[in-house]
């Protein structure tokens, strides 16, 4: 689950990470009132959407004129921002962050996430603050610093010193070394206490008066840990999430909407990724990632059908199931019952492999339903691509 920048900064402040004074604003009147209270030399008005690249898309405005703030709020509220992360449809701006500006002397990058290889939290830092970390990694990987934290011990002072020295802070700005180390410790507490999946500050600025400020912030949370944090759950903005993804979550399905035309229903994340790859190889595009889990039932399959069919881009459905925990004939029964319950209006190809796969395929073939049965993954992909009007 992602939260807005203003919410991330609220969490930063709770854990002792310095942030600019700012407030969520939803109307020009509120913007005028807050600007009068803020009374700073520089005002920053920032669109709040769950996507990066807001500044390049015109979603960040800066002014020294307090009287100009309401006009900037009016300009941005209701505007659709299109960035490299929103897709061509963009995102409507429903709320803003109005905050004080900062005298920037130096910009840094700092984030904390879980390293998939070791399973340990790892700090990622760079002197290239303000840039996308992917660009830094691609063009100047030597400027990326990593510091893993042993979760059995937790963050220690030497971890902070390692990062500070690798960034060159003692030579660059010795006055901020101690506050920087303390800030990293606070970020680690936030990360662990709130079951975060990622915490990012980009940029973390050193101001002209030798202070650290998290000028921009992003926090995402592990959905599996949200039940522990009702305060974090209240930060969820459903307007920023796809309605089909919300519906899938209610049915405990792992679903991510994509831009293709072939709906995929698969059990297992690895098999789902392979299915999407083979659809592209066959000449079409997947419309989604949908993992119904290892114990696929009639109910989960029916819920999957309903979600896929609500996507107007879906022109065909490809079910790719490996029978391991649940035998294939039971999966076939589930598909048959679910297909009868949910009116399927697009071509359907089912590929079964695993325990009792032959029996499952026979049940499907004799079901009287309008569907195609396949044995091989490549064969199944070619069938659904042909049935949807595209061929490799």
Residue 44's CATH number: 3.30.1490.20
Within this chain, do residues 7 and 72 fall inside the same structural domain, yes or no? no
Q: Is 107 one of the catalytic residues? A: no
pLDDT band of residue 392 (cuts 50, 70, 90) is very low
Q: Tell me, yes or no, whether 108 lies in a domain.
A: yes
Last residue of a domain, one of 192, 210, 241: 241
- What pLDDT does 284 receive? 94
Within this chain, do residues 373 and 256 fall inside the same structural domain, yes or no? yes
For the ranges 145-159, 240-254, 278-292, 358-372, the lowest mean pLDDT is seen at: 240-254
Within this chain, do residues 171 and 26 fall inside the same structural domain, yes or no? no
For the ranges 54-58, 69-73, 125-129, 165-169, the lowest mean pLDDT is seen at: 54-58
For the ranges 116-120, 221-225, 270-274, the lowest mean pLDDT is seen at: 221-225
Q: What integer is the mean pLDDT of 148-174?
A: 95
- What pLDDT does 332 receive? 87
Q: Tell me, yes or no, whether 363 lies in a domain.
A: yes
User: Residue 45 is encoded by which pair of tokens?
Assistant: 């008005």
- What pLDDT does 212 receive? 96
323 phi, psi to nearest 5 deg:
-85, 105
Last residue of a domain, one of 101, 128, 159: 101
Q: Tell me, yes or no, whether 392 lies in a domain.
A: no
Average pLDDT, the chain: 91
- Between the ranges 53-57, 200-204, 269-273, where is the mean pLDDT highest? 200-204
Q: Tell me, yes or no, whether 221 lies in a domain.
A: yes
Q: What integer is the mean pLDDT of 309-327?
A: 87
Q: By percentage, how much of the chain surpasses pLDDT 70?
A: 98
For the ranges 84-88, 99-103, 323-327, the lowest mean pLDDT is seen at: 323-327
Q: Tell me, yes or no, whether 271 lies in a domain.
A: yes
Residue of 99, 107, 147, 200 marked active site: 200
The region that residue 51 occupies, defined by phi over 0 for left and psi between -120 and 50 for alpha, beta otherwise, is beta
Number of domains in the chain: 3
Q: State yes or no: pLDDT of 17 exceeds 70.
A: yes
Within this chain, do residues 79 and 216 fall inside the same structural domain, yes or no? no
Within this chain, do residues 11 and 51 fall inside the same structural domain, yes or no? no
User: Residue 330 is encoded by which pair of tokens?
Assistant: 């039971």
Within this chain, do residues 371 and 280 fall inside the same structural domain, yes or no? yes
Please report, for the domain that includes residue 120, its CATH number: 3.30.470.20
| 155 Cβ contact list (under 8 Å, min separation 6) | 149, 184, 185, 188, 189
Q: State yes or no: pLDDT of 293 exceeds 80.
A: no
Please report, for the domain that includes residue 364, its CATH number: 3.40.50.261
Q: By percentage, how much of the chain surpasses pLDDT 90?
A: 62
Q: What integer is the mean pLDDT of 42-51?
A: 94
Q: Tell me, yes or no, whether 59 lies in a domain.
A: yes
Q: What integer is the mean pLDDT of 196-201?
A: 96
Q: Which residue has the higher pLDDT, 253 or 30?
A: 30
Q: pTM higher than 0.75, yes or no?
A: yes
- What pLDDT does 238 receive? 77
Q: Strands, DSSP E only, in the chain?
A: 22-25, 43-47, 60-63, 80-81, 91-92, 96-100, 104-114, 121-126, 144-148, 196-207, 212-214, 217-221, 254-257, 262-266, 288-291, 316-323, 348-354, 372-374
- What pLDDT does 294 receive? 66
| Number of Cβ within a 10 Å radius of residue 231 | 10
> 249 in helix, strand or coil?
helix
Q: Tell me, yes or no, whether 127 lies in a domain.
A: yes
Q: Which residue has the higher pLDDT, 85 or 14?
A: 14
Within this chain, do residues 250 and 329 fall inside the same structural domain, yes or no? yes
Q: State yes or no: pLDDT of 54 exceeds 80.
A: yes
- What pLDDT does 172 receive? 85
Q: What integer is the mean pLDDT of 252-263?
A: 88
Q: Tell me, yes or no, whether 86 lies in a domain.
A: yes
Residue of 5, 109, 147, 188 marked active site: 109
Q: Are 40 and 16 in contact (CB under 8 A)?
A: no
Q: Is 299 one of the catalytic residues? A: no
Last residue of a domain, one of 241, 265, 292: 241
pLDDT band of residue 33 (cuts 50, 70, 90) is very high
Within this chain, do residues 284 and 348 fall inside the same structural domain, yes or no? yes
Domain that holds residue 231: 1-20+103-241
Within this chain, do residues 6 and 134 fall inside the same structural domain, yes or no? yes
Within this chain, do residues 11 and 153 fall inside the same structural domain, yes or no? yes
Within this chain, do residues 357 and 237 fall inside the same structural domain, yes or no? no
Within this chain, do residues 79 and 163 fall inside the same structural domain, yes or no? no
Q: State yes or no: pLDDT of 361 exceeds 70.
A: yes
- What pLDDT does 295 receive? 65
- What pLDDT does 96 receive? 97
């Amino acid at each position: 689950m992602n939260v807005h920048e203003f919410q991330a900064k609220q969490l930063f402040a709770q854990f002792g990470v310095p942030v600019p004074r700012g407030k969520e604003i939803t109307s020009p009147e509120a913007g005028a009132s807050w600007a009068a209270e803020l009374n700073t030399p520089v005002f920053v008005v920032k669109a709040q959407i769950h996507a990066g690249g807001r500044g390049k898309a015109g979603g960040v405005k800066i002014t020294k004129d307090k009287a100009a703030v309401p006009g900037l709020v009016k300009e941005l509220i209701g505007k659709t921002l299109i960035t490299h992360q929103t897709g061509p449809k963009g995102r409507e701006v429903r709320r803003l962050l109005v905050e004080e500006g900062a005298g920037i002397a130096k910009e840094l990058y700092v984030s904390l996430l879980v390293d998939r290889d070791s399973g340990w939290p790892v700090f990622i830092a760079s002197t290239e603050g303000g840039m996308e970390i992917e660009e830094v990694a691609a063009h100047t990987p030597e400027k990326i610093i990593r510091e893993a934290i042993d979760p059995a011990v937790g963050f220690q002072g030497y971890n902070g010193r390692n990062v500070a020295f690798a960034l060159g802070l003692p030579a660059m700005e010795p006055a901020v070394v101690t506050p920087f180390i303390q800030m990293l410790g606070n970020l680690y507490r936030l990360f662990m206490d709130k079951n975060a999946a990622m915490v990012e500050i980009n940029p973390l600025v050193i101001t002209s008066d030798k202070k650290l400020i998290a000028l921009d912030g992003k926090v995402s949370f592990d959905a599996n840990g949200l039940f522990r944090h009702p305060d974090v759950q209240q930060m969820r903005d459903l307007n920023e999430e796809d309605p089909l993804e919300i519906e899938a979550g209610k049915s405990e399905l792992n679903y991510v909407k994509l831009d293709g035309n072939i709906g995929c229903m698969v059990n297992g994340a690895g098999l789902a990724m392979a299915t999407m790859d083979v659809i592209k190889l066959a000449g079409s595009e997947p419309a989604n990632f949908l993992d119904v889990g290892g114990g696929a039932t009639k109910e989960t399959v029916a819920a999957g059908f309903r979600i896929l069919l609500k996507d107007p881009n879906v022109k065909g459905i490809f079910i790719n199931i490996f029978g391991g925990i649940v035998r294939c004939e039971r999966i076939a029964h589930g598909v048959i019952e679910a297909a009868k319950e949910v009116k399927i209006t697009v071509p359907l190809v089912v590929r079964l492999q695993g325990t009792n796969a032959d029996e499952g395929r026979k049940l499907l073939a004799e079901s009287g339903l309008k569907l195609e049965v396949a044995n091989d993954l490549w064969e199944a992909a070619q069938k659904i691509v042909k049935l949807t009007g595209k061929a490799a």
